[in-house]
Structure 1
């Protein structure tokens, strides 16, 4: 079974570099059975490569403004991404990427890390570095949803 870890973000923009930092850690010292792709700010460019791998599981990790405390980690239902107003610094919204892949992949998991400061040339905050390390540590023995909480999305009637 192939698992793909798609790390998304811009390492030149403070906490938005959470994904690239995770990719760097995984490439230096792999954790578990993951094929690691650093999608940077244009993860849609990796759709063909991901499809060719035919993964059973795709884990997408990105700094995501979810209205939480900096460094908090949540699983976000991929179907909710388009309906939520989520800050993005990427070329295309991530729901576009998920829509392109969800029919070809057994399981798509979107894991968001709440950023604090996102701006050019800002350093990554300690809270986000700690969150990246938490995700990195859990990759080795990943089961189900990795032990992370789901983001509660408000329902508007």
Structure 2
């Protein structure tokens, strides 16, 4: 069974480049048996390729504003993405992408990295580079949620 790592983000937008940096690291020196796809800022363009792979699990990694300290990493329940109005820089909200793939993928895991600065031509900050390295190191022995904590959804008002 195949495991797919979908890295999402725009490397020209500072910390939003976390996903592409992870893809670059994995392509240079693979960790584990992951099929790595750099989805860039339009990951919806990769839906057909992911479906054809029929992965056992899909790990989506993206810089996501979760209201945490820069570089903090959390597993986000895909069902919470829309409800929490998570800000991303992508053409399509990631919950739509995940909904499109749910029937073709055994398990979808969404991993968010809290960015600090997202803006054109800003360099990536050190906390985000360190977070990408942490994720990269955990890929080889990935089990369950890779040892990352679940993001707590806010209580409904």
TM-score interval for Structure 1 and Structure 2 normalised by the shorter chain: over 0.9
Matches within 5 A, 1:7-156: 7-156=7-156
Distance across 2 between alignment mates of 1:122 and 1:87: 18
The Cα offsets for residues 60-108 of structure 1, whole Å up to 9 and x where unpaired, read as: 0000000000000000000111111111100110011000001111000
Shift of 1:45: 0.3
Distance across 2 between alignment mates of 1:33 and 1:145: 16
Shift of 1:11: 0.1
SS at match of 2:83: coil
Over the residues paired in the alignment, what is the CA RMSD in angstroms?
0.5
After TM superposition, the score normalised by the length of structure 1 is 0.99
Distance across 1 between alignment mates of 2:60 and 2:31: 15
Distance across 2 between alignment mates of 1:54 and 1:103: 10
Q: How many aligned positions are there?
A: 157
Which stretches of structure 1, 4 residues or longer, exceed 3 Å deviation after superposition? none
After TM superposition, the score normalised by the length of structure 2 is 0.99
For structure 2, list consecutive stretches of 5 or more residues without a partner in the other structure.
none
SS at match of 1:50: helix
